[in-house]
Structure 1
């Protein structure tokens, strides 16, 4: 009987220890997520500040301003000074990239099919839009975007500014922290609508899907 009781108590203590470990891990992952998103949003806001002081009134003003070499230098500075930023971009009202941090002048890429563009082009929304992950049209990496609407003097839609964050920023951290959890363990990052932004182990065909899975979860947005 004593052996049975001891074994039961050991099992209960092990379960309690495991629960505490997972609770602490959730806090760590949530803090990292918030800090990363905050850092990306600061970069996006700083680009918006440059636009604001430039007194952009019309589409012509915006395209002329955004297409300059000086703005390419600005976008490059944002990505070089913040390692989590994969790309920073000025987008026109037609979805065409006007300028971005990877090359100047930019290649011909149209982003009108992206969720952030479709939302911001039809909604006078001043908040940052958190996109679903997509494979970047520039380099093929899985990236999700923080985007803001650019409006003219009459609140007309002029385009979008955005910064991209590679999902590897999160999945690599999850692997480093959580690989000791044991076989079958996984960690996921969801948007608040339950769409999956990234996970470890990484599975391509799960990205962007909605669902609830039995694993460690972090939700933001």
Structure 2
């Protein structure tokens, strides 16, 4: 089924600042409300972008050629991005706004989830890809639901871990946060590599 083919894109959606933000918010002062607001904002923006992309792509002529061109451009751009990320790894730092997440408000968390998951370059490209692919494959829009739900579940894992494994999670999450904070370039490189492999697969396939 078509929705199974787009599920791997979930890993592209949450890689980098997205999952790091979820971990930071899960270790914040108001982690329950912040995490719920973050996921809520993400749910709205992802659904919105996928739906709009699907609507615009329905009935489009020459979809195959368009996808090939886009894939080629993405491969080139991601290749440059990988090189740049590696060359600047010594000075690589996470975005400055992440330093404010420990004392974030639910309102800020909602806005962050909406903007980060809906309009971050890799996320908006991935959501558009999902919507366009389903439309080009004549699959119903409902096939995007598993993709959206799994993305939201992945973003919820840090807070769900706190609920299920309170003491262990309270010890493990700050360590994971600090490691990801100190090795943000590795996280970024892994996400870019994953997206590059998927783009090459689309281009060659």
Q: Which structure dedicates a bigger proportion of its chain to helix?
A: 2
Instruction: Please report the TM-score for the alignment, with normalisation by the length of structure 1.
Output: 0.26
Q: Which structure dedicates a bigger proportion of its chain to strand?
A: 1
Q: Which has the higher contact order (CA 8 A, sep 6+)?
A: 2
Answer with 1 or 2: which has the greater Rg: 1
